[in-house]
Every structure is written in C-alpha cells, then in structure tokens.
C-alpha cells in the first residue's frame, strides 16, 4: 500500500531546489499522470489479493454502528475505489475503527476543540510515525471560452465586459492521504448500538429481494446462477447449507451462507437492461465475464457488511475468480475503477436507494435534522455532485446512534469516475 509517515513538528524537509544535483523532470501530460495513478491503485489491489487481505478473501469486522469507512470530519462515506482500498487497509492492520481523516482535518478538529475549552493534552493529533493511506478524488478540467457572435466578435454583457462560457473538460485523478482513527490520539470512541436480531436482518433481506422483483427459484442443485434473458435467479435449497462450527461455536451460519449466495445473484440481477443495464453477455473466461463477477461479488460484500451478516472466506471457493480479476486488473487498470463504481450502484439498487429509484419514488416530507453527537461534530448535511454520500449521525433518546447512508440524485461524469468522488475529503 502506498503510504506516508507523519513527521514530528520539529522535523524539517530540505527543499528540492536546495539539492544542487536535483534535475527538474520533464512536465508530464494529464493523461500520463492519470495512467500512472490508475496503475498504482490497481497494483495495490493486486498486492492485497496476493497477501490474502482483500475484501473478497477476509471477513469484515467493524462496529455495528459504523459498517463502512467514513470521514470523521465531514461524516461522509467513502465510495468506489476508496471504499475498497480503506476496507482492505483495515483488514491488513486488523483495525475495526472505520473513521479516517486527512492531517489538516485532524488539525482543524483540534483547533475547534481548543476554542471550546479542551485542554491541550486532550486535543487530537496524528501519532508520530503513523502511516497515511493514499486515496483518490476525481477532478474535471474547466474550459473557458469567450462567447462570440456569428461574425466572430466577442459578445459583451450589459457592463460591456466579454461573456465567457465555462465547460467541463477531461477528468483527472487527484491523490489525498488519510489516517485511520487508530493512528489519531484523543478521538472519542465510536458509539456502539445493539445489533439487530438475526430474524430481523433476514426479514429485511427477504423484503428487499421481493422489492427487486426478480423471481427466485430454490432447487436441489450445487450451483447458483442468474439468467439475464429470463431475468430469473436460481439458488440451492436452504437445507443444503450447513453451519460452520469451530470448537462448538457456529462461526459461519448456514443462513449467512445462503444469503451471501442469494445476494451475489441479486447483484447480478441489478445489471438487467430494465435496471442498471450493464454488459452481461460475456462468456466464462472472458474479460466481460470477469468484470461482471467482480461487480457482483464486490456489491454483495458491501451488502453483507451493511446488513451485519457474518462472513467467511467464501470467495476462496472460486480461486479462478481471483485469477480472472488479476488478469483484468493488469490488462486494464481503469476497469477496476469502473467495476467498483458499478458495484456501488448495484448495492444501492438492491437497497432501494439508487438515484434513479429515489427520483422515481414518492416524495416524503423532510424530517427534522438530528442533533449532533457530542465530540463528533457531524451534522446532517446534503452534498451535491457525483457519487457523493450523506451520513446522518443522530442522538436518539435511548442514546443509540443511527447511521443512514443516502445518495443524492445527479450523475455528472462517466462510470469510470462516478464512484470516486466521495465528497468526504475536505481540505487536503
């Protein structure tokens, strides 16, 4: 993983210009920089797969109140590539705290707390030697063109000034570095809530499967599949799944195994032409097939995490998947960004919160904004733009904390970058 190490305030770095042997490299194009960043991100995923610490190979453990990585300063969820990279980093380090912040955000939080009267020795700071994690945010070049009339003369406004039209040009990647809460001192602990009863989680999944509107056939077979032409899911009968028991303790229930398979096929079904309209015609062994499997498995992993279902190294049963994904990643690093963006959309569709579903749903009167959780400073907030998220952390009378992951409507960029802009970075 690409990281940097936090420096002590007393440390100083010698400017590059002070090195007489320093030679300024030739300026690279935006395309060259983009390609390098895509390759670096893809290489990080490949390294995680080889180490066995990717989200498809290792169970996800996180507090029930916060099931996914989010920015503790803005309260916004990380999406797309950033979500996968941060989850992978948490798995590699056995972190359970899902909060991340940039160095400047930690400093800003400390300044706010100091103004509120917090003693200096209780202010948050990045621990010495802590390593940051590189994540990505998409930008788009702004092109300014003077408006001209049919004769080619500048068009002026009422004040006699030339009118300039602005347009969005090509996209480009930016990198940011964040620190996990485990590497930030004096952060308040994450509030815990009781996990939903198992029966309640299962009932919620069954209701969502029903809302998906795809017939599910349970048959005494050893495989599961989705048929795009028939828009039908076929899975093994529930009785075919058995609990995994270690030392007399059920570590992976038969029900969780069943739902992990069912959710995977449901995520395939989101790609139907009547829903998200993904390319699903590729045969086994093709790049298209590998991409669709990566989308479905990533989306179902998200759902397992969000719904609080226990997970296991299920994907290890399908080593060929990992091999196919590795080849896909090496051949086309940008395909990884596209797949993770598509996985976000697939998971959102299943959870009935895709932007298209929200736009078509009956309008509900807005609810009163919740109060802040003391020490978090995370207000309910609406964020515009692409692929951005909203997290409302509410202080309930029972002191329970509820997390609502929402996505505003609006899609400005193509699928290759739509999942990158989490909007959760703030100042670098």
Q: Which residues of 20-42 are buried (b: 16+ CB within 10 A; e: fewer)?
A: eeeeeeeeeeeeeebeebbeebb
pLDDT digits (tens, 9 = 90+) for 343-373: 999 999 999 999 999 998 887 666 654 433 3
Query: What residues have CB less than 8 Å from 16, skipping those under 6 apart?
Result: 22
Give the Cα separation of 184 and 124 in Å (integer): 6
pLDDT digits (tens, 9 = 90+) for 263-297: 999 999 999 999 999 999 888 888 899 999 999 99
pLDDT digits (tens, 9 = 90+) for 173-208: 899 999 999 999 999 888 877 888 999 999 999 999
Once rounded to an integer, what is the mean pLDDT over residues 32-50? 92
Q: Which range has the top average pLDDT, 8-22, 335-349, 394-408?
A: 335-349
Q: Which range has the top average pLDDT, 141-145, 244-248, 268-272, 399-403?
A: 268-272
Give the Cα separation of 92 and 53 in Å (integer): 6
pLDDT more than 90, % of the chain:
50
Q: How confident is the model at residue 31 (pLDDT cuts 50, 70, 90)?
A: confident
pLDDT digits (tens, 9 = 90+) for 103-147: 999 999 999 999 999 999 999 999 999 999 999 988 777 788 888
Indicate if the pLDDT at residue 412 is higher than 60. Answer: no
Decide: pTM greater than 0.85.
no
Instruction: Give ∠ CA 381-386-390 in degrees, rounded to 5.
Output: 25
Of 354, 307, 341, nearest to 212 by C-alpha is: 354
Q: At what angle do helices 319-331 and 333-350 cross, to 10 degrees?
A: 120
Q: What's the Rg (C-alpha) of the chain?
A: 24
Strands 390-395 and 401-406: antiparallel
- Bridge partners (DSSP) of residue 100 are 71, 180
Indicate if the pLDDT at residue 98 is higher than 90. Answer: yes
Of 329, 323, 327, 257, nearest to 84 by C-alpha is: 329
Indicate if the pLDDT at residue 20 is higher than 80. Answer: no
**C-alpha pair distances (Å), 77 with each of 83, 84, 103:** 8, 12, 18
Residue 87 burial (C-beta neighbours within 10 Å; 0-12, 13-18, 19+): buried
Where exactly are the structural domains of the chain?
27-141+172-193+360-418, 198-332+339-352
- Bridge partners (DSSP) of residue 178 are 133
Q: How confident is the model at residue 235, as a pLDDT?
A: 97
The DSSP secondary structure of 78-145, one letter per residue, reads: P-HHHHHHHHHHHHHHT----EEE-HHHHHHHHHHHHHTT--GGGS-EEPTTPBPEEEEEEEEEEEEE
Q: How confident is the model at residue 318, as a pLDDT?
A: 60
Please answer whether residues 77 and 69 qualify as being in contact, where contact means their C-beta atoms are separated by less than 8 angstroms: yes
Q: How confident is the model at residue 216, as a pLDDT?
A: 98
């Amino acid at each position: 993983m690409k990281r940097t190490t936090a420096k002590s305030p007393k440390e100083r770095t010698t400017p590059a210009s002070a090195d007489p042997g320093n030679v300024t490299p030739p300026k690279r194009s935006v395309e060259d920089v983009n390609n390098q960043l895509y390759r670096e991100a893809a290489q990080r995923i490949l390294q995680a797969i080889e180490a066995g610490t990717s989200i498809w190979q290792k169970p996800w453990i996180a507090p029930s109140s916060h099931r996914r990585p989010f920015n503790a300063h803005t309260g916004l969820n990380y999406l797309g590539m950033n979500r996968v990279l941060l989850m992978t980093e948490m798995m590699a380090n056995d972190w359970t705290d899902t909060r991340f912040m940039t160095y400047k955000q930690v400093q800003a939080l400390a300044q706010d707390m100091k103004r509120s009267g917090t003693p200096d020795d209780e202010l948050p700071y990045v621990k010495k030697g802590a390593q940051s994690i590189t994540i990505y945010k998409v930008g788009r070049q702004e092109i300014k063109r003077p408006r001209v009339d049919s004769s080619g003369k500048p068009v002026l406004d009422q004040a006699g000034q030339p009118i300039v039209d602005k347009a969005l040009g090509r996209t480009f990647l930016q990198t940011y570095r964040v620190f996990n809460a485990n590497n930030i001192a004096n952060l308040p602990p994450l509030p815990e809530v009781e996990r939903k009863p198992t029966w309640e989680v299962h009932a919620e999944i069954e209701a969502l499967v029903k809302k998906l509107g795809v017939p599910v056939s349970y048959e005494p077979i050893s495989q599961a599949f989705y048929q795009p032409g028939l828009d039908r899911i076929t899975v093994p009968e529930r009785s075919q799944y058995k609990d995994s028991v270690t030392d007399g303790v059920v570590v992976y229930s038969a029900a969780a195994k069943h739902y992990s398979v069912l959710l995977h096929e449901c995520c395939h079904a989101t790609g139907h032409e009547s829903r998200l309209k993904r390319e699903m015609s590729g045969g086994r062994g093709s790049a298209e097939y590998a991409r669709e499997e990566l989308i479905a498995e990533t989306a179902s992993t998200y759902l397992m995490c969000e719904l609080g279902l226990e997970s296991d190294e299920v994907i290890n049963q399908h080593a060929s998947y990992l091999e196919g994904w590795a080849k896909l990643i090496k051949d086309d690093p940008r395909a990884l960004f596209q797949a993770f963006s598509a996985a976000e959309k697939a998971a959102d569709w299943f959870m009935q919160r895709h932007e298209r579903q929200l736009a078509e749903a009956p309008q509900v009167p807005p609810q009163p904004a919740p109060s802040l959780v003391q020490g978090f400073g995370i207000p309910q907030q609406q964020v515009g733009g692409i692929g951005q998220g909203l997290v409302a952390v509410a202080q309930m009378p029972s002191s329970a904390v509820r997390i609502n992951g929402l996505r505003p409507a609006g899609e400005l960029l193509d699928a290759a970058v739509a999942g990158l802009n989490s909007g959760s970075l703030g100042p670098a």
